[in-house]
Chains A and B, each alone.
Chain A
Amino acid sequence: MEQLENFRQEVKSWLDENCPASMRNGADPAIPTDEVWGGRKAQYKNPESKIWLDRMGQKGWTMPTVAKEYGGGGLSKEEVKILNEEMWMIGAKGPLLSFGIWMLAPVLLEYGTEEQKKEHLPKIIKGEIRWCQGYSEPGSGSDLASLATKAEDIGEHFLVNGQKVWTSYADKADWIFALVRTGPKEPKHDGISFLLIDMETQGVSTKPITLISGKSPFCETFFDDVKVTKANLIGELNAGWTIAKALLQHEREFISKFGLASAMGSGGKDIVSLAKKHLGEENGKISNGFYRSEITAHKIKEHAFGLTLKRAGDEGGKASPTASMFKLYGTEHNKMRHELMVAVTGINGVAWDGDEFDDDEKNLTKSWLRTKGNSLEGGTSEVQLNVISKRVLGLPS
């Protein structure tokens, strides 16, 4: 107990000295904010974003539970809780958004060799290298295991040829974790390997995709005779599918948090206040009874969903097939939330451009459209239902 109390004091004073003013409560609103993803190509509108990232990365506190030898914070669960509480107290911003942290690091810890962990984890944790995910291909979406991008054995190296699609931030990322076919004759699940590729290698190129919501961070990624050292193979040759699935569970867990209004992607607006603003308010109640009951039903589900995420944590939840439930429910709920926000905002909820509408309204339209991808990316809702029925409920194939 006393040790933890000492730790709390340490954290407090460290944060006090090291968390820049613009990264905490009371920041000057005139200072521009950055979405910090790190990496070699990162640019910062506010130099303090970079300072904050470097300091937290140096401490290993972007992945506080990972061992110090891999660049992590080496903290216990209790200590992490204290760190989070103290950061919350001063309203400290999270220093880094990262596919590396959310998806790759957990599987490196589980499947990587000692050298691979020592090579890649510190750079993920410090935000030096930004990662993207090379799973989907034009012909292989839900049926991911049918993927065709091939990696031929040419001695010390693999020679990679093929195309990935939907690669989020491929144009901004430094490295890609990719699924490649190394066993063309094996049954489809048994011929896949998990390979790490530097995006600067000759033969890698990207092309952006425009979505219904407008410009997007998604790209097509092409591999033309790309040489990749065998040291970058994670796990055994042709055993990549197990790793791919493990990573997907981490991804799904992460995406599922979008279901909560407190998470990102809502334009920060609450449906209830939007409804009161646009539909009117009588005795503190949303005046339109039809919308009021729809919103209530939605909010009740949201409350129960939030409690379910909390319960999974309290049960000591590791990533498991039930991550599919969170992914499914979270994304469907998020879509519904945006549908309701658009509906209560009325005509202004479908604004696109120009000065007649305010930024919140135009952003709402875009984020509403963007949510339609939530139930596709990371495996569609139908695929999640398949996973639940087979792997959780044990229904026959």
Chain B
Amino acid sequence: MKLILNEEQQFLKDTAKSFATEKTPVNHFRSLRDSNDHLLWDKEIWQEMVNLGWSGILIPEEFGGSNFGVAGISSIMQECGKTLTPSPLFATAVLGAFAITQFGSQAQKEELLPKIVSGEITTALAIDESSHHNPAKTEFSATSKDNDYVLSGKKIFVVDGSSADILIVLARTSGNSGEETGLTLFIVESDADGVDTIKLSMADSRNYANIIFNDVTVSSERILGSPESGGETVESILDIGRIAMSAEMLGNAEAAFELTLDYLKQRKQFGVLIGTFQALQHRAAEMFCELELTKSSVIAAMHGADENSNELQRLASLAKTISGETLHLVSNEAIQMHGGIGVTDEYDVGFYLKRARVAEQIFGSSKFHSERYANLTGF
């Protein structure tokens, strides 16, 4: 596995870079935040992304996608992360597209994948139930009744949950909370009877929801993958999500760092540029090193995913741990090195801090993934 992008992936990254800098600079996010728009992403922008083929990157050609792989979509996520571009890319083009492509029945693929590719539907993955990510602790229940299942319980912190048309929901069909077995994934329409969506307001001003299922009836044909093997299935979907999210977080960190370096080269105090102060120079150099380690981890993880590496789980946890820690560091230092304007709403750097802390929580914090890495490696 070579830790570089191939031509195709580099091309996607370059396209995404021009798109993000031209169409969705940070001001695009700012105006969405200020607009009280309920989507918190822009339909026209999403349609343009769809037209570029981004919704189908993880989808096979027979269903209209391009099958460019995890490295392709992650590179796009990284560039969008630099300008904090909000869009359904993560929940739909990564999570939904991967889940259905990889585990869907032929009928489910034929029905849903072309609609994802065309932008007709968006999706969301509903996993978490408490303040810390822990899929094994799922209590949300699905009880079989004739040929159907009845879903009941509450899912929280669902990314794009307040706008998604299709929800992929992790439910317990047997066993007890804490067990990795007895879990099943269901595909549920968000407008089904008994689905109650509560929009969340989070620090990063992105689209999230808590979703309550009041005895929602779902046909057994809507099981994703095989019943009772949802634990494994969901980990494999989550790992792809973790890798793509790590790429976005790397992009966040790179941009916050760049913004800070620019400031060090332009702000004067004591009659000199603040970038001449060694106390700041060394901290900047340390961040540079951490960013380099993060790039390597992310690229290894995304290639690992495309090559179906048997190290995939460890690489995903490595990437999520390192990108979380680096973004944490950089987002804090960025504020400090900006001085007072760093803590004003008018200046963009604070957006990176808020996004950082929320993204760190998505599908497991650095601590969650350090523990997972340790368990997987036998420490």
Are B293 and A308 in contact (CB-based, < 8 A)? yes
Q: Enumerate chain B residues within 8 angstroms of A310, measured Cβ to Cβ.
A: 3, 296
B260 to chain A, nearest CB (A): 10
Interface centre among A272, A388, A392 (most CB of B within 10 A): A388
Number of contact residues on A: which range applies?
35 or more
B300 at the interface (CB under 8 A from A): yes
Seen from chain B, the residues whose Cβ lies within 8 Å of a Cβ on chain A are 2-4, 261, 264-265, 273, 275-276, 278, 281-282, 284-286, 288-289, 292-297, 299-300, 318, 321-322, 370-371, 373-375, 377-379
Q: Enumerate chain A residues within 8 angstroms of B293, measured Cβ to Cβ.
A: 301, 304-305, 307-308, 329
Between A and B, 12 residue pairs with Cβ closer than 8 Å are: A297-B370, A300-B322, A304-B293, A307-B297, A307-B299, A314-B3, A315-B4, A328-B289, A329-B293, A385-B282, A395-B265, A395-B275
Q: Enumerate chain B residues within 8 angstroms of A297, measured Cβ to Cβ.
A: 370
Binds B, one of A116-124, A216-224, A288-296: A288-296
Are B273 and A396 in contact (CB-based, < 8 A)? yes
Q: Enumerate chain A residues within 8 angstroms of B379, measured Cβ to Cβ.
A: 272, 285-286, 292, 295-296, 299
Are B370 and A325 in contact (CB-based, < 8 A)? no
Are A397 and B276 in contact (CB-based, < 8 A)? yes
A389 at the interface (CB under 8 A from B): yes
CA distance A307 to B377 in the complex (A): 17
Q: Which of A274-298 contact B (CB under 8 A)?
A: 284-286, 292-293, 295-297
Contact of B377 among A299, A394, A396 (CB under 8 A): A299
Q: Which of A346-397 contact B (CB under 8 A)?
A: 382, 384-386, 388-390, 392-397
CA distance A325 to B284 in the complex (A): 12
A303 at the interface (CB under 8 A from B): yes
A245 at the interface (CB under 8 A from B): no
A81 at the interface (CB under 8 A from B): no
Q: Enumerate chain A residues within 8 angstroms of B278, measured Cβ to Cβ.
A: 386
A274 to chain B, nearest CB (A): 12
Residue of A nearest to B2 (CB): A314
Q: Enumerate chain A residues within 8 angstroms of B321, measured Cβ to Cβ.
A: 300
Are B265 and A394 in contact (CB-based, < 8 A)? yes
* A interface: dominant SS: helix
B305 to chain A, nearest CB (A): 15
Q: Enumerate chain A residues within 8 angstroms of B294, measured Cβ to Cβ.
A: 304
Q: Enumerate chain A residues within 8 angstroms of B288, measured Cβ to Cβ.
A: 325, 388, 392-393
Contact of B284 among A299, A311, A389 (CB under 8 A): A389
Contact of B4 among A314, A388, A396 (CB under 8 A): A314
Known: A299-B373, A308-B293, A390-B281. 19 other contacts (CB 8 A): A272-B378, A285-B374, A286-B379, A300-B318, A300-B322, A303-B297, A307-B3, A307-B296, A308-B295, A310-B3, A311-B296, A325-B289, A385-B285, A386-B278, A388-B288, A389-B282, A392-B288, A393-B288, A397-B276
Contact of B261 among A300, A315, A329, A395 (CB under 8 A): A395
Are B276 and A395 in contact (CB-based, < 8 A)? yes
Query: 0/1 per residue, A207-227, Cβ < 8 Å to B?
Result: 000000000000000000000
Task: Check A311/B318 contact, CB under 8 A, given A285-B379, A395-B264.
Answer: no
Contact of A393 among B261, B276, B373 (CB under 8 A): B261
Are A395 and B284 in contact (CB-based, < 8 A)? yes
CA distance A322 to B293 in the complex (A): 12
Are B322 and A388 in contact (CB-based, < 8 A)? no
B49 to chain A, nearest CB (A): 28
Are A311 and B295 in contact (CB-based, < 8 A)? yes
Residue of A nearest to B321 (CB): A300
Are B322 and A304 in contact (CB-based, < 8 A)? yes
Contact of A311 among B4, B322, B370, B377 (CB under 8 A): B4
B19 to chain A, nearest CB (A): 25
Are A296 and B373 in contact (CB-based, < 8 A)? yes
A213 to chain B, nearest CB (A): 27
Residue of B nearest to A286 (CB): B379
Contact of B281 among A285, A286, A385 (CB under 8 A): A385
A12 to chain B, nearest CB (A): 25
Are B3 and A304 in contact (CB-based, < 8 A)? no
Query: 0/1 per residue, A135-146, Cβ < 8 Å to B?
Result: 000000000000
Contact of A388 among B276, B289, B371, B378 (CB under 8 A): B289
CA distance A396 to B274 in the complex (A): 9
B242 to chain A, nearest CB (A): 14
Are A385 and B286 in contact (CB-based, < 8 A)? yes
CA distance A394 to B3 in the complex (A): 26
CA distance A31 to B219 in the complex (A): 72
Q: Enumerate chain A residues within 8 angstroms of B265, measured Cβ to Cβ.
A: 394-396
B334 to chain A, nearest CB (A): 14
Are A389 and B374 in contact (CB-based, < 8 A)? no
B289 to chain A, nearest CB (A): 5
CA distance A202 to B357 in the complex (A): 67
Q: Enumerate chain A residues within 8 angstroms of B377, measured Cβ to Cβ.
A: 299
> Which 4 pairs across A and B sit closest by C-beta, in order of nearness?
A389-B281, A388-B285, A311-B3, A307-B296
CA distance A322 to B371 in the complex (A): 31
Task: Check A296/B370 contact, CB under 8 A, given A325-B288, A386-B278.
Answer: yes
Residue of B nearest to A297 (CB): B370
CA distance A130 to B21 in the complex (A): 55
Are B370 and A396 in contact (CB-based, < 8 A)? no
CA distance A292 to B374 in the complex (A): 8
